[in-house]
A and B are shown apart, each in its own frame.
Chain A
Amino acid sequence: EAGVAQSPRYKIIEKRQSVAFWCNPISGHATLYWYQQILGQGPKLLIQFQNNGVVDDSQLPKDRFSAERLKGVDSTLKIQPAKLEDSAVYLCASSSLTDPYGYTFGSGTRLTVV
């Protein structure tokens, strides 16, 4: 079974620029998550999708972050404009409705804002 795919692996941008990350979950996984992991901390949930609907985006800084999952499969996370404190690893994970503990994480995108 293919894992959760994320791209790019690394991204360096200047502050105030925009950036987008892409995630392709495991086939058949209805639930998709984006987490932000700042260096030295645990991952923090940004947004949770079930199919193409948002279940929880309470910790997403909506003034600059947006995410979509239009067809209920792939997802993109965008930051516009980026701030220095957005430097982190952005992790995507997916799970099936029948196995909520069967989380699979992607390798993440490491963002550096300079």
Chain B
Amino acid sequence: GAGVSQSPSNKVTEKGKDVELRCDPISGHTALYWYRQSLGQGLEFLIYFQGNSAPDKSGLPSDRFSAERTGGSVSTLTIQRTQQEDSAVYLCASIPDRPWETQYFGPGTRLLVL
């Protein structure tokens, strides 16, 4: 079946612009995560959605970052007034139900802020 998809696959933007990154999780998966990975680094947790519960936003690095998940499915990560240090690969992962289950990752969106 279809896996997690993300769009765009690559995004180049100018410093100060806003960007929106999209994640389509696996159908039926109730939980969704956003991570980012800077060049040569491990993954950094950003935000977690589980069903209708309030999201865990503890990993968002600043108030320029926000995310929403509409209808319990598609999620959008928005970065306002982008900075060069926001350049990274942004990864989305979904899981079937329980939080400790296997996470299925998308291919990521490579963001470059000039």
**B is a partner of A:** no
Identify the A interface with B (CB < 8 A).
Answer: none
